[in-house]
Amino acid sequence: MGAAAVALLLAAAVAPAADPEAGRRKAQVCAACHGPDGNATIPGTPSLAGQPVFFTHWQLIKYRDGRRKDPQMSPLAEKLDDADMADLAAFYAAQPARGRPAATDAARVAAGRQLAEQHHCTSCHRPGLTGQQQAARLAGQDFDYLLRLLRGFKAKTASDLDGTMTVATQPLQDDEIVSLVHFLASLGTETGR
Amino acid sequence: MRPVIGTLLAVTLALVLAPPASAQAPPPWKQGQPADLANSTLAPIAQPPGPAAASEIPVDKIKVPRGFKVSLWAHGINNARAMVWGDNGTLFVSSRVAGNVYAVVDRNGRREVKVIAKGLNLPNGVAFKDGTLYVAEVSRITKMPGIEAKLDSPPAPEVVYDILPRDLPHGWKYLAFGPDGKLYFNIGAPCNICVPPDTHANISRVNPDGTGFEYVAHGVRNSVGFDWHPVTKELYFATHGRDWLGDDAPSDRLDVAAKKGLHFGFPYCHQGDIPDPDFAQGRSCGEFAPPLLKTGPHVAGNGVQFYTGSMFPPEYRNRIFLAQRGSWNRTEKVGFRVMMVTLRPRDVPKYEVFAEGWLQGDQIWGRPVYTQQMKDGSLLIADDYAGAIYRVAYQP
């Protein structure tokens, strides 16, 4: 798979000290929610498979520093050191993303596709919304999670690394957010399986 | 060695954000990009999430003039940026996206790094006076009195001034005490190129108790490094030029503000002689203070520091060290070095490389961002990409 190959390259190029196999062992505690290979199945829980190395690593730093808060993630991240985070990020980046089953509406998907272009989502998240560097992979991500997160950015309550997403979501109406999520969630079934 | 991230894949971390005025605003770093460059692959270089291990930092690649020697002084400082000394020899180090402030303590030649504040909003500015550390985030300045005695149980920061703009684009601040005892900082333009509100694109100052706010210099797109001449006490500052005017324009600049209230041209005029193609609005470059020195396009001059030590040869005294974090909006990378500027009466300054080597071909392994002089006259250089601090000593 192209995306997986790119993810592997990134993992290798970006963090030479990171050990994906060590990451696989360390990820055992994550598996109950995020799946053994980072493809989660619990609605509302994001998949980590195929996420760029920088993205996962930065999110873990934010949880550890209290900039992103979650009752389950925060206490887990507090126990991680820098090497743990690098290993976990490298492991998940190397796992193929399978996409999440979602009942998407064709008209909404079409509208969301247009919105993604108009709002320049692909400038950072790449054509295909597969993510890069610190910008998350969105293609095939969990429907409920995407919806919660985008609404959080719009409400200025979701943790943002540098403000980009908070700014980007301000012009969006809630109806447009819903359409975007339909589109993003639909990509998994188109490209991942 | 930390391998490098291709510009092709690099994105938004270093970026500026456009104000959410337009319903379809591009991501901030793309703002001002002309239609004919719409498919450009240039984008800001991503900030690595963690510091490089000591074994990955090729210090021997840093080239300095004959007689000087570079060593790795401290590492493991994620996103290490500006540095300031405490009275008792603690080096305080800021960061930007890492959100941390660090204290580096020398214990018998080994450097111990402590995080004394975390989760802050782009805390790029650190200043120190009378036992108190001051920290500048995007919209506020805070202080930590008596911090050097409490490095292992740092107190919560106390607010000094918190009514600064909340805009994130160019919202991070350099912070320093001027010779007048006031705290100086930048309020950057909230965009790549725009007519900024009157409250933005300036260097400002406030008393250390938060009173007496005033603007010092206007028309400054974003200056995240300045210092005062040791003799004349004039303010010298570096400014990053706008993006998307091409590989070779405009030049970044080094300026001197001989008095308060001067206007340095943004957004109407760049580098003293290029009217902005869209925002000149009939203004002429002659209306504005010209740069003291054109430092080169896209070099991203950050730290500005006059050398006042006695370790380096006598000609180094009162020279400016200018740390250049390096370009993203240029086909061939430039910067990623520490320059030195020698001021000359009635002549343009002499402008030479002091330290380089973070850029190898088109690959970077580090980004020098600020300098700080040590008590013995050697020079520290912070690298926010590798998360390291180097020491340059003169050892002929």
CB–CB contact B119 A124 (8 Å): no
Q: ipTM greater than 0.90, yes or no? A: no
Does pLDDT of A190 surpass 60? Answer: no
Residue B203: closest CA among B191, B192, B214, B190: B214
In a domain, residue B92? The reply is yes
CB atoms within 10 A of CB B374: 17
Closest CA of chain B from A67, distance in Å: 5
Instruction: Give the per-residue pLDDT at A148.
Output: 97
Q: How many whole angstroms separate alpha carbon B141 and alpha carbon B208?
A: 9
B2 or B386: which leads in pLDDT:
B386
In a domain, residue B188? The reply is yes
Q: How many whole angstroms separate alpha carbon A114 and alpha carbon A183?
A: 9
Q: Which helix (H) or strand (E) holds B275?
A: strand B274-275
Instruction: Give the per-residue pLDDT at A159.
Output: 85
Closest CA of chain A from B286, distance in Å: 36
Residues of B in contact with A67 (CB under 8 A): 99, 119
Asked if residue A134 lies in contact with residue A58, where contact means CB atoms within 8 angstroms, the answer is yes
In a domain, residue B2? The reply is no
CATH number, domain with residue B123: 2.120.10.30
pLDDT digits (tens, 9 = 90+) for B158-188: 999 999 999 888 999 999 999 999 999 999 9
Instruction: Indicate the domain borders of chain A.
Output: 2-93, 106-192
What's the mean pLDDT in B139-168? 96
Per CATH, which fold does A106-192 belong to?
Answer: Cytochrome Bc1 Complex; Chain D, domain 2 (1.10.760)
Residues of A in contact with B119 (CB under 8 A): 65-67
Q: The tokens of A53 are what?
A: 């190395």
How many angstroms separate the Cα of A123 from the Cα of each of A109, A119, A158? 19, 9, 21
Give the domain range for residue B221. 7-394
In a domain, residue B1? The reply is no
List the single best residue of B12, B45, B115, B384 to mutate versus A (max A Cβ within 10 A): B12
Between B30, B100, B118, which is nearest A123 by CB?
B30
pLDDT digits (tens, 9 = 90+) for B45-101: 899 999 999 999 999 999 999 999 999 999 999 999 999 999 999 999 999 999 999
In a domain, residue B162? The reply is yes
Same-fold call for A2-93 versus A106-192: yes
| Total number of domains constituting chain B | 1
Give the rounded percent of residues in chain B with a pLDDT score beyond 90: 87
Superfamily of domain A2-93: Cytochrome c-like domain (1.10.760.10)
> Could you tell me which residues come within 8 angstroms of residue A15 by beta carbon, excluding any fewer than 6 positions away?
A53, A57, A86, A89, A90, B48, B50
Q: How many whole angstroms separate alpha carbon A91 and alpha carbon B302?
A: 36
